[in-house]
Amino acid sequence: MLLLDLRSGEEIAAVEVRYPHGVIDSSLPEGGSELVPDTALQDPGDYLEVLYRGIPDALAAGGVSPEEVIGLGIDFTSCTVLPVTKDGTPLCRMDEWSTRPHAWVKLWKHHAAQPVADRLNDVATARNEGFLSRYGGRLSSEWYFPKLIQVWLEDRAVYDAMYAFVEATDWVVWHLTGSLLRASCSAGYKACWSATEGLPTQAFFEAAYPGFPDPSEKLGTQFAPPGHRAGFLRADVAARLGLGPHVAVAVGNVDSFVSVAGAGVQEAGVFVTVVGTSICDLVIDRSEIRMPGITGVVENGILPGYFGYEAGQAAVGDMFAWFGDRLLSLDRAAGASGSNWYAELERGAASIQPGESGLVALDWWNGNRTILGDADLSGVIAGLTLATTPTEIYRALLESVAFGERRIVENFVEHGVAITEVVACGGIAERSDLMMQLLADVTKLPVTIPASSQIPARGAALFGGVAAGSERGGFDDVETAVATLKPATQRSFEPSPLDTSTCIPSSARSMTLSAGITSSGSTA
Amino acid sequence: MLLLDLRSGEEIAAVEVRYPHGVIDSSLPEGGSELVPDTALQDPGDYLEVLYRGIPDALAAGGVSPEEVIGLGIDFTSCTVLPVTKDGTPLCRMDEWSTRPHAWVKLWKHHAAQPVADRLNDVATARNEGFLSRYGGRLSSEWYFPKLIQVWLEDRAVYDAMYAFVEATDWVVWHLTGSLLRASCSAGYKACWSATEGLPTQAFFEAAYPGFPDPSEKLGTQFAPPGHRAGFLRADVAARLGLGPHVAVAVGNVDSFVSVAGAGVQEAGVFVTVVGTSICDLVIDRSEIRMPGITGVVENGILPGYFGYEAGQAAVGDMFAWFGDRLLSLDRAAGASGSNWYAELERGAASIQPGESGLVALDWWNGNRTILGDADLSGVIAGLTLATTPTEIYRALLESVAFGERRIVENFVEHGVAITEVVACGGIAERSDLMMQLLADVTKLPVTIPASSQIPARGAALFGGVAAGSERGGFDDVETAVATLKPATQRSFEPSPLDTSTCIPSSARSMTLSAGITSSGSTA
């Protein structure tokens, strides 16, 4: 929860509220049998609780009065979807459905629909479906239709009872405003929708799953770009939040994608990389190029008027944590002078020269997202000797991430999307100078780190300001908002004049794990 | 130091005496400048001190009177060589030479002669020298002529001053008996000598190092097979050792090779593997087959009347120790119920099924000895995921050793040396049931572990008994000695009916690191 000053760009207050139920993956809160493997659910009540607790807390922490808040922007994980009735009630909150797993929110990392995704990919490939080329040639089991079809196959009553199967970000906006308006970002990246081509045809779905109804039935057909005003706060909701009734609410956003605006980027050629447990890479361009090796390209998916490209790596911070926590069993708090093991290892790794240890790693600890798109791939460490140290391996892991990024950059360039610089945000960008220097050295591009640890929330808040409009103290267009609120540069890294041509590239892609809801405000 | 009963085969006493100076690799005991990298020296005075302390201790520990001892056998690391005067005085023990590094013993693992070995290999290959085919096509920098030529190149005065450059095993026998008789084993495996073909020609050495003298000048030309009597103890030496003067001394032995006799093996088709810090594999056969992928084949090198084949892997126990000690920093003593980390990891690793973890390792942590013979190769772990555990990696390392052994066995079989069973000894054979079961499963051969932790010393002692002859209570021939003293079987492992065909083979070769001197005795 971030309270952002739309004039100065100052981050007035940041509040974190944890979901009471977290991730539901063993049994439902209402009881019932054990959930099947790869199930990952959430309780939509948690989302509202976070809003109703966090917004008043943020106002209090920032010393901001309710009338100073003019807009709200939400960003959310995606594809995180739930079945709802026509009035927006989640089925899982109704007594008659609450013990059925398919009535609950399917979190982005719910992977139990993999067989459906496999089938859709096989049929789409066999039919040479054109929409596939917007997604690097493959759909993910994490996306909308695999999840929806899983419900249709396994609990037809839930399928029939739902009025819509909506992204959580859209559902929250619906709750706040009283009207349903879906985001083009999640529809484009996760539900195979395109502004110009619409959805995959019913004939395709019929070929894969005979009898499956019109794909737009539960998804809808109208989608709005980022910054579009979904409406104003409902009076009763405003009262509960401690806000005034004339607060504009922007259409929902997806967490990683909103980082582009949050980082102040609105130029083609800038490679925005969100480096956390995994990496999400984002690039905007005026033209659409269908290419392999990306997660997707969506018009208006990131900024209005641009095609937004997504790529990424599946294990980054997760891989480093595996090394220190799971393999070495290092004590996070027990370094010299109170620093943690990350800092200890990084200090040592920084003094090792490129190629000095002879180690090469492939970072596929969680499969490869892009450019190979193969979740079954796994990691490699080569060059091990009796003299190899943990510090050397740690550096090799950092290098493997940098080479994964380089391969993704090369893929864009090879297909006609020029890349001239890198803007990095996320926890590891903030924390690891060495990772950032390696990223600059290996990609041979300058790397800039914005001075904010709330980049996605800044993006969501910024779109809240656009939804409010200039007459209320916000912005009339996204371009002005991004330019006005661009964060300062905290650190920057120039490529060293190193020869890295002898190293082996690797690659991967990811979704960030963070799930946050963000409020925006302007001091009047 | 082992005292062996030649009637019963009972190991009466075993005594360990450490070398006071250990390995000299930074500066000489006499001072002087820092030693160059890859230098590894020893002090020959240590060898005598071990004898003069250890033999009386072993007699006392065994409660054996001096007159009961009839023979002595020595086994030693090789190629461990020293320059000596005509009366057998080591140059390094003389004031005028003691500050010169090349006057000292070059230990087997002295690697500073690598450039010489490279040059000899290049020239031998270019000249298509026939002797190369006895050594799998490559000479090692650890061997005799690279070490001798290093002295000739770098300290000509030492070269000129030495009467002979002798294996430590031969030097100790010379000290004990007063006469120099060299072993065919070390000459064959380490100095490119063959009973039928002699040494590489002077023309070869001239082509590689113009001006290098007759290669037999410092090596000698007469070599005796294992069990040959080198002489009897000198009276003054016998007195100092607390033994009688009629103790026969066998020609010197090399540590790993003597394990074949020590394990009671004298049949073709038995793959004797000494599994310790590294692995030494030994096979005997009535015929000589020149093949790639071995360390060497030498007539009378292991047992009289046989061609002895050597192969091996360069990092085994060393690799396991790297994993637990260096990478994981495990406390050797701190397992549950007082066991060490080896036992802890092995318990977990034994419950993992083949292929279950998805991990595959290549065991080249110290390069590959055989069948590739490339010291620059390094280790690999593939199949790593966020769920990978230390125990799974440990099992993958064990499996990599088993697959290395399988590749070595296959190489013998492919070239016409049939292998029907495995006899394993050494520390890891004694300690690790899992390693032994994997060896059986992966090679698909039965594996037997003899009931002795003193296999090499038994072999040396056995040859001491042969040197003594039957009229003194020993043996008239090696065959009878090996049959009489064959140790019982401690454990045996049958191959499980597993399909291991999908795994990736690896390979390696080694010399054992242990340096021991062994005495043999018989109760009268």
Name the residue among A365, A388, A390 with its Cβ closest to that of B385. Answer: A365
Q: How far apart are CA A431 and CA A284, in angstroms?
A: 26
Q: How far apart are CA B225 and CA B298, in angstroms?
A: 11
Asked if B111 contacts B159 with a C-beta cutoff of 8 angstroms, the reply is no
pLDDT of residue B331: 74
pLDDT of residue B508: 26
Asked if A363 contacts B385 with a C-beta cutoff of 8 angstroms, the reply is no
**A379–B380 C-beta distance less than 8 A:** no
pLDDT of residue B339: 64
Q: In the predicted model, what is the mean pLDDT of chain A?
A: 92
Reported ipTM: 0.89
Q: Confidence class of residue A338 from pLDDT cuts 50, 70 and 90?
A: low
Model confidence pLDDT, tens digit, residues A8-61: 999 999 999 999 999 999 999 887 789 998 899 999 999 999 999 999 999 999
Q: Confidence class of residue A499 from pLDDT cuts 50, 70 and 90?
A: low
For residue B383, which residues of chain A lie inside 8 Å, CB to CB?
A: 378-380
Between CA B81 and CA B84, with CA B83 as vertex, the angle to 5 degrees is 120
Strand order in the sheet with A71-72: A71-72, A248-250, A229-232
What's the first-to-final CA gap in chain B, in angstroms? 19
Residue found under tokens 């595996």: A322
Q: How far apart are CA A383 and CA A366, in angstroms?
A: 21
Q: B 62-121 residues with CB below 8 A of A?
A: none
Q: Which residues pair with A424 in a beta bridge?
A: A273
Strands A182-183 and A223-224: parallel
Q: A 355-414 residues with CB below 8 A of B?
A: 358, 364-366, 378-386, 388-390, 393
For residue B328, which residues of chain A lie inside 8 Å, CB to CB?
A: 327-329
For residue B326, which residues of chain A lie inside 8 Å, CB to CB?
A: 386, 388-390
Q: Confidence class of residue A278 from pLDDT cuts 50, 70 and 90?
A: very high
Kindly report the number of other CB atoms within 10 A of residue A353's CB atom. Answer: 8
Asked if A417 contacts A283 with a C-beta cutoff of 8 angstroms, the reply is yes
Name the residue among A378, A386, A389 with its Cβ closest to that of B385. Answer: A378
Query: Which pTM was predicted?
Result: 0.89
pLDDT of residue A333: 60
Residue found under tokens 């520990």: B61
| Alpha carbon separation from A212 to A91, A138, A203, A205, B284 (Å, rounded) | 21, 21, 10, 7, 72
Q: Is the pLDDT of residue A337 over 70?
A: no
pLDDT of residue A509: 24
Least CA distance to A390: which residue of chain B?
Answer: B327
Residue A342's identity, in one-letter code, is Y
Q: Is the dihedral of CA A148, A152, A158, A163 positive or negative?
A: positive
**B384–A318 C-beta distance less than 8 A:** no
**Beta-carbon contacts below 8 Å between A and B:** 75
pLDDT of residue A376: 85
pLDDT of residue A375: 83
Name the residue among B326, B358, B393 with its Cβ closest to that of A378. Answer: B358
- The count of C-alpha atoms lying within 13 angstroms of the C-alpha of A387, restricted to the half-sphere facing its C-beta, is 7
From the candidates A376, A380, A385, which should be mutated to test the interface with B, based on the most B CB atoms within 10 A?
Answer: A385
Q: How far apart are CA B451 and CA B361, in angstroms?
A: 31
Instruction: For B49-88, give one letter per residue: b (16+ CB within 10 A) or e.
Output: bbbeebbbbbbeebebebebbbbbbbbbbbbbbbbbeeeb
Q: How far apart are CA B154 and CA B150, in angstroms?
A: 6
pLDDT in tens, chain B (524 residues): 999 999 999 999 999 999 999 999 999 988 778 999 889 999 999 999 999 999 999 999 999 999 999 999 999 999 999 999 999 999 999 999 999 999 999 999 898 999 999 999 999 999 999 999 999 999 999 999 999 999 999 999 999 999 999 999 999 999 999 999 999 999 999 999 999 999 999 999 999 999 999 999 999 999 999 999 999 999 999 999 999 989 999 999 998 999 999 999 999 999 999 999 999 999 999 999 999 999 999 999 999 999 999 999 999 999 999 999 999 988 766 555 556 889 999 999 999 999 999 999 999 999 999 999 888 899 999 999 999 999 999 999 999 999 999 999 999 999 999 999 999 999 999 999 999 999 999 999 999 999 999 999 999 999 999 999 999 999 999 999 999 999 999 999 999 986 544 443 333 222 222 222 223 333 22
Name the residue among A327, A358, A364 with its Cβ closest to that of B378. Answer: A358
**B379–A380 C-beta distance less than 8 A:** no
Name the residue among B318, B380, B393 with its Cβ closest to that of A386. Answer: B318
Element of type H or E holding B50: helix B44-62
Least CA distance to A392: which residue of chain B?
Answer: B327
Query: What's the mean pLDDT in A450-465?
Result: 96
Residue A351's identity, in one-letter code, is S
Phi, psi dihedrals of residue A461, rounded to the nearest 5°:
-65, -40
pLDDT of residue A339: 64
**B366–A384 C-beta distance less than 8 A:** no
| Alpha carbon separation from A60 to A64, A75, A241, B443 (Å, rounded) | 7, 22, 12, 71
For residue A380, which residues of chain B lie inside 8 Å, CB to CB?
A: 380-384
Q: B 315-334 residues with CB below 8 A of A?
A: 315, 318-319, 322, 326-329
| Alpha carbon separation from A265 to A91, A271, A423, A425 (Å, rounded) | 39, 9, 8, 12
Length of chain A counted residue by residue:
524
pLDDT of residue A262: 97
Least CA distance to A393: which residue of chain B?
Answer: B327
Residue found under tokens 């997760």: A318
As given in the structure block, the two tokens for residue A29 are: 């809160």
Least CA distance to B386: which residue of chain A?
Answer: A365
